[in-house]
A and B are shown apart, each in its own frame.
Chain A
Amino acid sequence: MELPAGFTYRPIQNGATDEYFLNMGPQHPSTHGVLRLVLRLDGENIIEIVPHLGYVHRGIEKMGENQTYLQNIHLTDRLDYLSAYSNNLALCLAIEEALEIGVPERGEYLRVMICELQRIQSHLLWWGVLGMDMGAVTSFLYGFKEREPITDIFEELCGARLTMNFFRPGGSAFDAPETFLPRVREVISSIRKAVDEFHTLLTHNVIFQERTKGIGVLSREKALAYGCSGAVLRGSGVDYDVRKNQPYSLYDQFDFSVPTGTTGDCFDRYLVRLEEMLQATNILEQAVRRFPGGPHRSKVKAQYKLPAGSYWSQVESARGLFGVYVVADGSAKPYRIKYRSPSFSNLQVLSELVIGHKIADLVAIIATLDLVIPDIDR
């Protein structure tokens, strides 16, 4: 049997079993976008898996070379659209580092709060979709119900619900409206209540536990070797969070803990994300209490021309370590811009995790890796 490109395991000789190949995606709903997985199956058991990328490749990095730094910010929205703010922030941090632009205190607080709100929002969507992938439509509706007030805050703040293009070098495009703090307070209490409900609905559900515990166990060593980040890495017991280990913005001034798992299975990754939502509410609570007045943005420049050199910045987005590498040649446009997206590295462990599992387990594993395909393809 001739193997398609990418498959490495030798075919079983003598026709002991009937192996076959199956395309999952690119239009499969549980691949969260246009991810195409080629499965090598023996019955329902997965022997090997090869992800095919590039279905939503838009050439954003190449496009970025022809756009000014300010215009590049709106392109970062479209990488990982569920953590658009974190992506905006990463690029802004790189520009600020290059030009030595400071950010007023209110601007920094706004950044932290918005990024944490977005982390909650992204995890809510992930939770809903996870339930739906496993056949529970209820959780999809409940996740979206909790997500809506946060999206409304974003809409009131910057006028957009998904692709915000909000942060600018030296602060943000808009100041927080008057209703911002009361609405954030409401969200904090509603999320804490919601997470308890989530435990009742899904965490304690015996079917859900049977389908996630011991499924897709990612060892600590593998997670580190593949460069995983975010909840996938922490679920395997590695205590690494950019917000703690290389604090940016004001994260070193907030008291929060980094939850980690023990076994690295789907259930651990699930619990880590739920706990992260609660930790984000802790950060929000502290930020609401200390939210200062004053300007939200330092002096606006007509043009941002980065001095020649290379600049790296990284943030912890909802999915993990998001990095921006800018090579500047002194003009208003970057010579080269490279995004290090967390989903790309997290996807790579998939081929290790699924071997020996069933197709239904593959769906659970993809869901707990929390992949965003436009982030992988860019």
Chain B
Amino acid sequence: MNTTSSRQNSMTPGSPQKQTPASSLPSGSYFKRIVSGFISLLRGMGLTVTYLTDPRTVVTQQYPENRATLLMTPRFRACLTMVRDETGAHCCTACGLCEKACPNGTISVLTMKDLSGRKMLGKYVYRLLQCTFCNLCVETCPFGAIVMGQNYELAAYDRDALVLTLHSEEDEPHA
């Protein structure tokens, strides 16, 4: 290894002084090589035993038992959801920018007219099957009407269950 780094020494033992591939293998007699080989194996085993016995090294999360305490980060990107205020109303104006921004045709915004003839949201179809969670729809929305939700358990037994309509509250996705 040729490196001008100051950290070069951290990778020295057994590695950089080699000229030919064979020369840096444990040298010496047959039995000496067996012994030095065993020592190298024991050092590695020592490390694994440390990890096995030291409780501070435990990193495993007990999913799904820890569902209640498992919190996703605020920016976590999962199933698309509509932002609702306390009355349950959304602020989607059916402008269709998210539909255009989507690379996969995941979103269909179907409009209808209210009694005064103004355009409003009729049906917001979200095809979870096609979604790549790229977040472009959320970034494009000028009203902040949609967010990538926190619900990450999205498996279903039926394909139809993964075509969601987001505009009506009872159709909101839930695991």
Which A residues lie at the B interface, using CB under 8 A?
Answer: 67, 70-71, 74-75, 77, 138, 142, 145, 148, 155-160, 163, 165, 173-174, 177, 192, 195-197, 199-207, 209-210, 213-214, 217, 237, 256-263, 265, 267-268, 271-272, 274-275, 278-279, 282
Contact = CB atoms under 8 A, between A and B. Distances in A.
Among all A-B residue pairs, the 10 with the closest Cβ atoms: A214-B21, A206-B37, A159-B77, A159-B75, A74-B134, A71-B103, A257-B5, A213-B21, A165-B134, A156-B73
Nearest to A136: B44
Interface in B127-161: 132-136, 139, 148
B116 interface: no
B15 interface: yes
Contacts of B16: 271
Interface string B23-47: 0111000000000110011011001
Interface residues of B, number: 43
Nearest to A148: B59
Chain B interface helix/strand/loop/mixed: loop
Nearest to A257: B5
A86 B171 CA distance: 38
A77 B77 CA distance: 15
Given A156-B73, A256-B5, 20 more contacts: A71-B134, A74-B132, A77-B134, A145-B59, A156-B75, A158-B75, A159-B76, A159-B135, A159-B148, A174-B75, A195-B10, A206-B37, A207-B41, A214-B22, A259-B1, A260-B3, A262-B2, A271-B11, A278-B7, A278-B10
B50 to A, nearest CB: 10
B1 A261 contact: yes
Contact of B133 (A71, A160, A209, A237): A160
A139 to B, nearest CB: 10
B103 A203 contact: no
Interface string B64-75: 000000000101
A213 B24 CA distance: 9
Contacts of B19: 262
A267 B20 CA distance: 12
Given A138-B48, A205-B40, A213-B24, A272 B1 contact: yes
Contacts of A258: 3
A138 to B, nearest CB: 6
B13 A204 contact: yes
Given A74-B103, A267-B21, A278-B7, A262 B1 contact: yes
A177 B74 CA distance: 10
B62 interface: no
Interface of B: 1-5, 7, 10-11, 13-16, 18-22, 24-26, 36-37, 40-41, 43-44, 47-48, 51, 59, 73, 75-77, 101, 103, 132-136, 139, 148
Prevailing SS type, chain A contact patch = helix
Contacts of A256: 5
Contacts of B43: 200, 204
A203 B19 CA distance: 17
B170 to A, nearest CB: 27
Nearest to B34: A206
Contacts of A279: 5, 7
14 contacts: A158-B75, A159-B75, A160-B77, A192-B10, A204-B40, A205-B44, A213-B18, A214-B22, A257-B5, A267-B21, A271-B15, A271-B16, A274-B11, A275-B11
A155 B133 CA distance: 13
Given A197-B47, A257-B5, A274-B11, A67 B103 contact: yes
B68 to A, nearest CB: 20
Nearest to A237: B2
Contacts of B133: 160, 163
